[in-house]
Amino acid sequence: MAADISDRALVRAKARCAGQENIEFLRSDLISDPLPANFDLIDCSEVLYYLDDVAQLRAVGGKLRDALAPQGLLLLAHSFILKDDLRATGFDWEYPFGAAVIYQMFSELPGLTLERSLVTELYRIDLFRRTDDGDMAEGPNVQVVPLESDLEPEVARMVVWGERRRAVSTS
């Protein structure tokens, strides 16, 4: 199932997936619409920044968790933004939070256990598993890797690099 709040995005997705018989398309608002249940995997990428505040993030996080089947996986992928940590590298975007806050909130959500993370200076991808509260988990596999690709100029202009800011402030 491919879900989005934007009719335009769904039309584009349908066109790209033309001929695929195993995909359903659903217009859905994460905040106000109920989610179907019993998913083995939910991929929630580049969308949670648009929520109003951490309380709304927590509510949506609960809805996503509850839409998972037992042992189902929740994949989150989001960028770091300056508001998360003014000393760290991040995008200078006007969202209320970014990847650091999203990760922290989902880590504290009962019924989800972090299995794996891939973290760069600008981005993090986290894989959570729906678990019963009594389930014991092994330590997550957290991999921190360098950013090994050049950014497009229009993207690079939105980044404030933490080390540069620290170097300037100490001179």
Q: State the DSSP code for 50.
A: G
Do residues 96 and 134 share a domain? yes
**Residue-level pLDDT at 133:** 66
**Residue-level pLDDT at 163:** 62
- Tell me the mean pLDDT in the region 105-132: 96
- Tell me the mean pLDDT in the region 158-169: 65
The model's pLDDT over 75-118, given as tens digits with 9 standing for 90+, comes to 999 999 999 998 999 999 999 999 999 999 999 999 999 999 99
Domain of residue 92, CATH code: 3.40.50.150
Do residues 17 and 81 share a domain? no
Do residues 14 and 60 share a domain? no
How many degrees, rounded to 5, is the angle at CA 97 between CA 144 and CA 113? 55
Do residues 90 and 48 share a domain? yes
Do residues 5 and 61 share a domain? no
From 141, 142, 147, select the one nearest 162 (Cα to Cα). 147
Domain span at 148? 40-170
- From the number of C-beta atoms within 10 Å of its C-beta (0-12, 13-18, 19+), residue 53 rates as exposed
Do residues 99 and 118 share a domain? yes
Number of domains making up the chain: 2
**Residue-level pLDDT at 149:** 86
Do residues 24 and 69 share a domain? no
Do residues 26 and 95 share a domain? no
**Residue-level pLDDT at 165:** 47
**Residue-level pLDDT at 137:** 61
User: Quick one: pLDDT band at residue 136, thresholds 50, 70, 90?
Assistant: low
* Radius of gyration, CA atoms only, the chain: 18
From 37, 99, 35, 108, select the one nearest 68 (Cα to Cα). 37
